[in-house]
Chain A
């Protein structure tokens, strides 16, 4: 591993090398080995147990003709797009409000961030109760006199994904707010003074000066939100279990169901490889921009 350039070189730093064995094993065996294994076996016809019968792209063809997978992808796209936009928007606006040198800043921040400490299961179950059509918001509004009021996202296949989005945003926006606040605090006071002297209104200063200066924070936030979106699983399991029918399925759940419920390993491997591909498409350009340029430059 440590290329020996001399006979006595290999045991230099020996303790450090021994201490790093767990890290090396994780990196090589689990991360690289495991990923390669899954990608390789996605080309087999594995069912209950993995087996080396290669069938080309058959699993992928089946995957893309499965309505459950197509709905999963559609849900992920809708959830992802709205989650990204609203997280950034709400997170930034809240951070900007907290940055106005207000009193009780710590109290507000604590109240806005606490959902982030809760698990997706707890989040999902809490919102499942609030959105319950017989007892929750819908019933409360009906009791106030609007008899025909209808708000039952978790029981309506057309809008179920938005019901999950509400819970997801409640849980996650606090984190983005904290990131943005850190970004706003990093901006030089003089910029604000200069903008004030030039008579630029506050909202314009934010949009045309501050936000472009916070590019790095925005990119971090986007990467963070995006990697959270692709992982979304527990929230759906807790809130709807994928229902009604298959209306709120997501890719991560498709993988779990294929591997552990319907004994269809090949499908699970193919679906997880597709997830990996999505991440690569998002992360590689970002990593290139963030690290590739700087290191060499």
Chain B
């Protein structure tokens, strides 16, 4: 990647003195060539289109309702007000509760932290066992796990409801944490297995000779050597779990609904006058956590989804 970006800078500065300097000569490439206008023009137009919804959401959330009714959704606010944000966070109603999205936010945090930690802990140990301590049948279980990732969730939803009900966890946050751990397992295990498999075997053998066991090698060698992959897994899980709706709505009760579910209930509730500015403020608030992670993590985020996408 690094040298590609450097190459692109070179091209811009000194126009292509390559091997192809035959009779036709190098094409003079100015900054405003037709080709460049086409490429940049298209990319800028498409980028504007992709930015549009975010822009409209922000603009709407900063207007008062009278202005929304009169104006058009693309115009910037005449009078900026933060009242919709305050209302979305602290006062918006779902059913009988009128304490705003803050409840959903803290529920999501309470779901997110244990889910991310537990799923990564389990999946990394799985990946470690699969990469370094294969036992008879381990590859079979791994195959089942990967095949399982393709099974639609709808097929497994109800059996899990029954299992959780049997152990008294249906409707609790613990139950939802377990569900997230289960459904995060295939992709994370794959991620860790492939990463640990690329750690030099000599290190592992040397540690074995020194008498380190399963857990000793895991904590003293594998984990410290694999911090980047832990960060990638964390990005993957934080965005995935924060954005989840289906599991939240099925495995928790209204008091414990995560932010996405509560957001949908606030915006799509049929009672009362629709306050579009509050709705948009609430929507941005819900999207803020994954967006922040996305913009901070940059290339690691891309790496995470690429790792998630490309199997094997």
- Where the two chains meet, the residues of A that have a C-beta atom closer than 8 Å to any C-beta of B are 1-3, 12-13, 15-17, 19-20, 22-24, 26-35, 37-39, 50, 94, 97-98, 100-103, 105-106, 108-123, 125-130, 132, 135-137, 139-140, 143, 170, 174-175, 178-179, 182, 185, 193, 196-197, 220-221, 224, 227, 230-231, 233-234, 237-238, 241, 251-252, 255-256, 259-260, 265, 268-269, 271-273, 275-276, 279, 283, 287, 291
Contacts and interface: CB of A to CB of B under 8 A. Distances in A.
Given A114-B294, A118-B243, A276-B155, A178 B287 contact: no
B260 A121 contact: yes
A231 B243 CA distance: 14
A228 B296 CA distance: 26
Given A12-B135, A30-B156, A140-B72, A129 B57 contact: yes
Given A27-B141, A283-B150, A117 B294 contact: yes
Interface centre among B5, B128, B268 (most CB of A within 10 A): B268
Given A102-B39, A126-B283, 5 more contacts: A27-B145, A34-B155, A117-B301, A127-B53, A185-B4
B160 A34 contact: yes
A238 B264 contact: yes
Contacts of B115: none
B155 A275 contact: yes
Given A117-B301, A259-B158, A35 B291 contact: no
Interface of B: 1, 4-5, 7-9, 11-12, 19-20, 39-40, 42-43, 46-47, 50-54, 56-57, 60, 68-69, 72-74, 122, 125-126, 128-130, 133-138, 141-142, 144-145, 147-148, 150-160, 162-163, 181-182, 185, 189, 213-215, 239, 242-246, 250, 260, 263-264, 267-268, 276, 279-280, 283, 286-287, 290-291, 293-295, 298, 301-302, 305-306, 309-312
A108 B73 contact: no
A179 B302 CA distance: 9
Contacts of B244: 119
Nearest to A18: B214
B73 A103 contact: no
A234 B298 CA distance: 26
B133 A16 contact: yes
Contacts, number: 276
17 contacts: A19-B126, A22-B181, A23-B142, A31-B148, A33-B159, A102-B40, A112-B50, A117-B287, A120-B245, A125-B264, A127-B53, A137-B73, A256-B250, A269-B158, A275-B154, A276-B151, A287-B147
Interface centre among B19, B147, B283 (most CB of A within 10 A): B283
A39 B154 CA distance: 11
Given A114-B50, A119-B286, A22 B126 contact: yes
Given A23-B122, A27-B145, A140-B73, A3 B50 contact: no
Contacts of B159: 30, 33-34, 37-38
B72 A237 contact: no
B189 A23 contact: yes
Contact of B305 (A35, A112, A178): A178
Is chain A's interface secondary structure helix, strand, loop, or mixed overall? helix
A87 B159 CA distance: 34
Contacts of B263: 121-122, 125
Sorted nearest first, the 10 A-B pairs with minimum C-beta distance are A119-B243, A31-B148, A15-B214, A16-B133, A34-B159, A117-B294, A101-B8, A272-B154, A27-B144, A34-B156
Contacts of A221: 309
A24 B141 contact: yes
A50 B162 CA distance: 10
